[in-house]
Amino acid sequence: MKSKRETFVDKLLGGMTLAEKVGQCFTLSWRGSMITPSAVDVITKLNAGGLRIEPYTTESATALYYGRRLAEKGFDLPEEYRHIAQTYFKAKHPGTYTPPDEYARRLNRLKEIAMNRRSGIPLHITLDYEGDFSHDYAFGGMNLFPSHMGLAACGDDDLVYRAAKAVARQLHAIGVTMMHSPICDVNVNPDNPEIGTRSFSDDAKTCARLVVRQLEGIRDGGLVAVAKHYPGRGNSSTDAHDGLPVIGDDGKTMRERDLLPYRALIAAGLGGVMTAHTNYPKLDPAGVPATLSRIIVHDILRGELGFTGVITSDAMGMGAIVNTWGVPRACVLALKAGCDLVLVKNDEEVRAQSVCEVTRAVQSGEIAEADLDASVRRILLMKYDQGLFKNGGMVDADKAPGIIAQPAMRSVCRAAAEGCLILMRDDARLLPLSPDRKVLVIEQMVPAEFTPNDIHCNSHLFNEAMTAQSMNVINATTEFSATEQEQALMLEVAKEADVVVATNFYWRILPRNNTELIRRLVAAGKKVVVVANAPYASSCPREAPTVLCTFSGVPNSLRAAAEFLYGGRAARGIWPIRAQKPWDGAA
């Protein structure tokens, strides 16, 4: 006998049109915070199942994705898809500052639009919030946390749970329903350009234990957790945003190491999995990324691991996909492979092309309608279990700021930042700094698109934290990777200082940092302290004699770093990597 939820979903599914079913299989982007005609059309004309929100930037049909336009030239778009509105704001421009209560109101409005569709099916709202520089909504004093590896370095499994719950609660308060975390990748390659500290560790058992605690926190905070990047990207040497990585590990190794976190999460009731745009020739010799592999998605994840939840692709505009297949065709192949949702984070015509291409594939029989129905059913069950059919997932917007500012939320955020500090080395015995010594503080500036630039979070917070410890400082910033002119200026200004304290954060979307500047300062005979956000060579130049690892560049991490440098707190983090020590290997 069917349960109440199954009866509800099956009745709804039975009355859906093909267009409504196909639309449910798409998570499409909403950038910025303005409800444009384009944003409305995505919901009403393309029947989007959900939105991936990116309020930090602007919607723009002219945006390039990894250097290219993704719309297919010469694509035969039927009449019903030709009139999807486009927005032509300047691409890569910072999004309008929108505080939590107002942003929640605007999400409520979009949810209301969705509920007024013929189908009455609510939206799922998702984003990335991985820690460190990954926080898609950062306005209004949101509590920003260290990376996964930073949480592991705290050495407190319960803190991992409390941090995940705090993140989920504040996101739920603004109207988010789903989170693309936890990250299950076991980062066994210290030179991995894409994962690094996004992983908890290079140890599979540690990762498996901590992703379960994170799942529990996310779920108890009111969100669906989507684990990624299945079946594992920890041994990659290529960024999938640029091209198709190949991981040649054998099936036994993958199953014992990379799949271990997924087994643990599935046993704990995981709701969603995101696939990797990576080729695993020992799992599937076809040479396609996991997202497009029926062996990896259907046979292994569904069959071998027994996962019954929702499977989503990673963003389909990444180089690993578009370099060979293009977005519309790849969406078809992903659904054929066994994905339920495809993530299309583009503001141009490629959205309509992708929905159209999938519709044609169903009409032609390339995608069996029974398979489409099974995917939509899983998506609807997920939404039912979250209670989204009751009111579309709308929230009390007025309460959002208060939830975010709760003392308990602030406390766990500080505890995470303060608990993961690790002094990797101090060969020159420069620490603690004395207020009597003149210190040149060099802080990397995060591009304006990715910082709210408010009193809570901006590109001068480390300088501000250092001046709170001592006024005997010279304040300076550079681009994330200092220009030649900036390097020359810093070398000149450094002559006035006894010690230089410089951030050298690594961020996968801006892989060049201030390593060259630090090397030049050391070569010039300056005493240099490096504040790093990763325990790898990408952030910790070998030449630097003193290195503090914060595992993030978020506000509380910067304050904790400044306090430690002047002797105001201890660095009590626990080393989270098994294959190397702070003073050897890549560090």
* Catalytic pick among 135, 180, 241, 277: 241
Report how far residue 408's alpha carbon sits from residue 213's, in angstroms, rounded to the nearest whole number.
19
- Which ranges constitute the DSSP H helices of 154-311? 157-174, 204-220, 251-253, 260-267, 294
Contact 427, 546 (CB under 8 A): yes
Name the one residue in this structure whose structure tokens are 């308060």: 173
CA 168 to chain centre: 14
- CB-count burial class (<10 Å; 0-12, 13-18, 19+) for 147: buried
From first CA to last CA, the distance across the chain in angstroms is: 59
Report how far residue 493's alpha carbon sits from residue 526's, in angstroms, rounded to the nearest whole number.
11
254: amino acid identity, one letter: M
56: amino acid identity, one letter: Y
Beta strands in 289-436 (DSSP E): 310-315, 341-344, 422-426
- CB-count burial class (<10 Å; 0-12, 13-18, 19+) for 331: buried
* Closest C-alpha among 400, 391, 397 to residue 114: 391
What letter would DSSP give residue 177? -
* Closest C-alpha among 351, 349, 292, 345 to residue 315: 345
Report how far residue 562's alpha carbon sits from residue 550's, in angstroms, rounded to the nearest whole number.
11
* Closest C-alpha among 165, 127, 132, 139 to residue 56: 139
314 catalytic, yes or no?
yes
Report how far residue 25's alpha carbon sits from residue 442's, in angstroms, rounded to the nearest whole number.
46
* Catalytic pick among 202, 314, 340, 347: 314
Residue-by-residue DSSP string for 20-88? HHHHHTEEEEEESS---HHHHHHHHTS--SEEEEETTB--BTT--SSSS--SPTT----GGGTT----B
Contact 324, 295 (CB under 8 A): no
Which residues does the annotation mark as catalytic?
A: 241, 314
